[in-house]
Amino acid sequence: MNNSPQNESRRRFIKNTGSAVVGGSLAIPMINTMPTFAKGNADTLKVGLIGCGGRGTGAANQAMKADPNVKLVAMADAFEDRLQSSMENLKKGHGDKVQVDPEHQFIGFDAFQKLIDSDVDVVLLATPPGFRPQHLTAAVEAKKHVFAEKPVAVDGPGIRQVMAAAKKAKENNTAVMSGFCWRYHEPKRAAFGKILDGAVGNIGTVYNTYNTGTLWSKERQPEWTEMEYQLRNWLYYKWLSGDHITEQAVHSLDMMSWALSDKQPMSAMGTGGRQVRTDDKYGHIYDHFAIVYDYGDGQKGIHMSRQQFNCANSYSVEVSGDQGHATVDCIKGVHEIKGNEKWRYRGESNDMYQTEHDELFASIRNGSPVNDGDFMAQSTLLAIMGRMAAYTGQIVTYDEALNSQEKLGPENYSWDMEYPVAAVPMPGIQDGVGR
């Protein structure tokens, strides 16, 4: 049920929904439902969307195109305006495939749980990633099939929670599809397939970048509490986004990891800072990172990411081996190998976002649900590990990152709580640990 009837004032809505206690301590009710195993094509798969922003709306669109018998029946968001604009968009494209009655429009911090408790088969998770471990756990506990946008956590405790949920989903035979979309892009599948088959020989380094301009921010409104402001500008708070290395550049780290068979690095050392994007409206995150991942025996993953205007952009992965060099360039669309073997991808490209959902729904229909749990947790952890190394100025081992007790964000959420912006980490001085 919607906590915010449409004729109520926005203030009232915030008060009504603000007291929900939904932190890590929320007891997840045990729901005695069976997962939707291979459903005949005549059976409707009912989809619920949690996080109705840009990507969530896109994912719902793709879910409705993935299978002829899918309906969107429930939506949840922290904010009513986001939910309504998403629903309007989706109705324009999909007509009566969107059947979200007012009783299935859930608003507030506890909206995710109400959606999961409603009669849905597949849940799409597309809130800021700080909430992902909690939402994923609740969805898996309720035996729902899940699409989980990347990244899947912002801290070590979150990663451990995600790993446990993904393991549980395997036991339940329910799907966990990740939003690491390049894994569903045919040219990248071909290129990384060649690399994994040894086309560049033994790999020495994987250099990868995500250098881009800055992103959006939303002007503070007088009626917003600090919590609402941070949530609406979630990119700039590490408890919500994990900083831009986790939120955005993780795509490049994911491809680095793919090239290296998703093996675990031993440690990371790095640097970073907040050099240009220093205004208060950008919270406390950095605007550049440079991290070296040590995989042992001289093998290195070298990562650079930047969100600064008027600088050279690059979004690529270069894999150097003892028999060749592979280039995967996401801006230029180049997938090529030079060396002992010469190869260039000349096949068709695909809409990777659509392919994710096509494969998710096909896997549900045929009774062998996809589970991306291992690589989605691992790639996200690489980003967290890099951030920890840059913030602290220390070498951070894989085990330290994975077993970190640093839990970001408040234990419980409410709209009117005090949650001052944490200090900008200063390596060697104030490492930004906690908050």
Ligand X SMILES: NC(=O)c1ccc[n+]([C@@H]2O[C@H](COP(=O)([O-])OP(=O)(O)OC[C@H]3O[C@@H](n4cnc5c(N)ncnc54)[C@H](O)[C@@H]3O)[C@@H](O)[C@H]2O)c1
Note the residues at the interface with ligand X (CB under 6 A): 50-56, 76-79, 82, 109, 111-112, 126-129, 131, 149-150, 179, 181, 231, 247
Beta carbon of residue 203, minimum distance to ligand X (angstroms, whole number): 25
Beta carbon of residue 208, minimum distance to ligand X (angstroms, whole number): 16
Beta carbon of residue 255, minimum distance to ligand X (angstroms, whole number): 13
Cβ closer to ligand X: 98 or 203? 98
Tokens representing 296 are 């042992």
- Contacts with 109 (C-beta within 8 Å, 6 or more apart), sequence order: 17, 18, 20, 22, 78, 413, 414
Residue closest to ligand X, measured at CB: 53
Beta carbon of residue 56, minimum distance to ligand X (angstroms, whole number): 5
Beta carbon of residue 50, minimum distance to ligand X (angstroms, whole number): 6
Distance of CA 44 to the CA centre of its chain: 27
Cβ closer to ligand X: 242 or 270? 242
DSSP-assigned beta bridge partners for residue 50: 76, 125
Cβ closer to ligand X: 321 or 373? 373
Cβ closer to ligand X: 56 or 369? 56
Beta carbon of residue 321, minimum distance to ligand X (angstroms, whole number): 28
Per the CB < 8 A criterion, the answer to whether 125 and 79 are in contact is no
Per the CB < 8 A criterion, the answer to whether 241 and 130 are in contact is yes
Place of tokens 């093996």: 263
Cβ closer to ligand X: 248 or 392? 248
Cβ closer to ligand X: 295 or 415? 415
Neighbours of 280 (CB within 10 A): 9
| DSSP H/E element including 268 | strand 267-273
Planar angle of CA 320, 316, 210, nearest 5 degrees: 125
Per the CB < 8 A criterion, the answer to whether 150 and 125 are in contact is no
Per the CB < 8 A criterion, the answer to whether 379 and 180 are in contact is yes
Cβ closer to ligand X: 154 or 203? 154
Beta carbon of residue 184, minimum distance to ligand X (angstroms, whole number): 10
Cis check for the bond before 151: say yes or no (omega within 30 of 0).
Answer: yes
